[in-house]
Structure 1
């Protein structure tokens, strides 16, 4: 017995020694790397300020040190406090759904993962954008429906809507994604769990005939990158209309207020980026924003597609007019970010 104990103690001591050695080596590598980076930065600073600009780099560094604590006190500390408060509010939002999450994880692992992400998006939408939905009753509790929406620069409004419908209507939306999304590293599992599909007429028709809800933005990437004034850039696309007619599923028009004030693309160089996109289909642009503006998604009245005389072009025009009516009724023409921020308080 004593020999066993001494062997165990020897193994434990050896393990601890190895672990300590690994930690010390890691600490030495990290410390050396940080010191090397700091030395390089200081050398570049000395070269730029002293040799190129001709200033006293030591004196300038002293002035920078004088500004260090005021910046920390009046900028960094308040920012850290704001992040803490925001994280706390997000935690409480998730905690409110704890019973639903517990039940979902017991039922199906991936359903639990979807529920968790939906709660995260719902909390973030509520806290950062005061997100709201009008017309949620137009989403059917069962049966097929085809959601047609305006594609913002980054369709965060659709992420929020998918989360809200999943949480409050217990229905999983099947979004149609552009082909480029399927090649983004790390996105495959996310797209699989949330049932993102490629946009084929046959595939969408099959989903609708099975009783699912499908979401399509006919403008796609072109509309996301180059529609700066909420213009619908559908480029005579009729695929969604053919899908609706073939499946007899109702079309539900959707528009989100202020989505371009939240995130947008710079108009500078848009002609060059558009030329590149039309030639290569590379979605290049310069994004800016993530402003905490008020976002409201308006869900319009369903459009019946069961008529025997419905033509794809006629149906497309009808849906286009329905979305434009929502835009003209609720979107401010000026496109002011400041006014969109003030919407949070009105």
Structure 2
């Protein structure tokens, strides 16, 4: 211990000598010289960032208070999953509101009760779906079951999150059973393939996938189409070596395409009117009808090709439609 104390005293002594030997006139000259630059950096970066952090924190505080009764009831009931789920919903709701100005047009098309199948276009990362999922929880008091790609269940560290959000790899029988139990189920037929290999032209890439239509027919439930404006401008996949990455994906199912972005673009989700159950349609016909509906929503609501610059400017434009 004695050598540690000796070392501390020696360090303090050297520091004192260094301060005593400082040329204060030289330091004052350096500060005078760099003062304008320091003020510029402080004004341009640090202060705005501080304001953003404070604004985000204040908004989060307001959202928590707005939903505190639901949160507290879940905690008091010792329902840890429900309490954690609602806390995350509040966090994502706040993030969507601040970072992307997220809105929903047509939330009333989500039924308050009863089974339904939500089908949506898959962006590079489905953050728009996260926002919708949480809004449905907070404003419709419904928990949507989620069908996700099987590779997610192999990613270390996601088990608890997938369990809390009741994510399933979704076999046909499992999906039908969930719907018959009165749940709402969400599926993106394009999945990872659409996420990685669609682009700013918003091509719907479903291939031969008609499983969701078979599920809807067997469960005899309506299909609700969903599309989010500018969803591919928020995050994008690198456009280089697409054929190579597509070949690797088709052979291995590994999503190796790099993703970049998280740009603060305007996200506006459109929930279409339900496609009611029609026993006269085959699964393939129902699939094509749903795909056509989503493509019509893209043509109507999305600037093509998508533009990150214009999508950011959309934050300052308004649309005369009912939003949530």
1:1-80 superposed matches below 5 A:
69=38, 72-73=41-42, 74-80=44-50
Structure 2 alignment gaps of length 5 or more: 9-29, 318-324
How far is 1:66 from its partner? 6.0
When Rg is computed on C-alpha atoms for both structures, the one with the higher figure is 1
- Contact persistence 1:90–1:127 (CA under 8 A): no
Choose which of 256, 263, 266 in structure 1 pairs with 2:235. Answer: 263
Q: Distance in 2 between matches of 1:280 and 1:256?
A: 29
Q: Distance in 2 between matches of 1:221 and 1:102?
A: 37
Deviations 1:152-195 (A, max 9, x none): 00000110001000111111000101011101111111111111
Q: Distance in 1 between matches of 2:213 and 2:261?
A: 33
Per residue, is there more helix in 1 or in 2? 1
- Tell me the equivalent position of 1:150: 121
Deviations 1:20-76 (A, max 9, x none): x9xx9xxx9xxxxxxxxxxxxxxxxxxxxxxxxxxxxxxxxx9xx969846752434
- Tell me the equivalent position of 2:17: none
TM-score by structure 1 length? 0.78
1:211 and 2:171 correspond: no
1:159-308 superposed matches below 5 A:
159-228=130-199, 229-307=201-279
SS at match of 2:83: helix
- Contact persistence 1:94–1:123 (CA under 8 A): no
- Tell me the equivalent position of 1:110: 81
Count how many residue pairs are aligned between Structure 1 and Structure 2: 285
- Contact persistence 1:209–1:247 (CA under 8 A): yes
- Contact persistence 1:151–1:223 (CA under 8 A): yes
Structure showing greater relative contact order (alpha-carbon pairs closer than 8 Å, 6 or more residues apart): 2
Flag as ranges the 4+ runs of structure 1 deviating above 3 A: 65-72
How far is 1:268 from its partner? 1.1
Choose which of 279, 284, 287 in structure 2 pairs with 1:316. Answer: 287
Deviations 1:219-269 (A, max 9, x none): 010000010021111011011010000000110010000000111111112
Between 1:70-79 and 1:128-137, the stretch displaced more is 70-79
How far is 1:143 from its partner? 0.8
- Contact persistence 1:249–1:306 (CA under 8 A): no
How far is 1:121 from its partner? 0.6
How far is 1:279 from its partner? 1.0
Q: Give me the CA root mean square deviation.
A: 2.0
- Contact persistence 1:253–1:301 (CA under 8 A): yes
How far is 1:306 from its partner? 4.2
Structure 1 alignment gaps of length 5 or more: 1-20, 29-61
How far is 1:86 from its partner? 2.2
1:330 and 2:301 correspond: yes
SS at match of 1:224: helix
How far is 1:95 from its partner? 2.4
- Tell me the equivalent position of 2:106: 135
Q: Distance in 2 between matches of 1:208 and 1:78?
A: 48
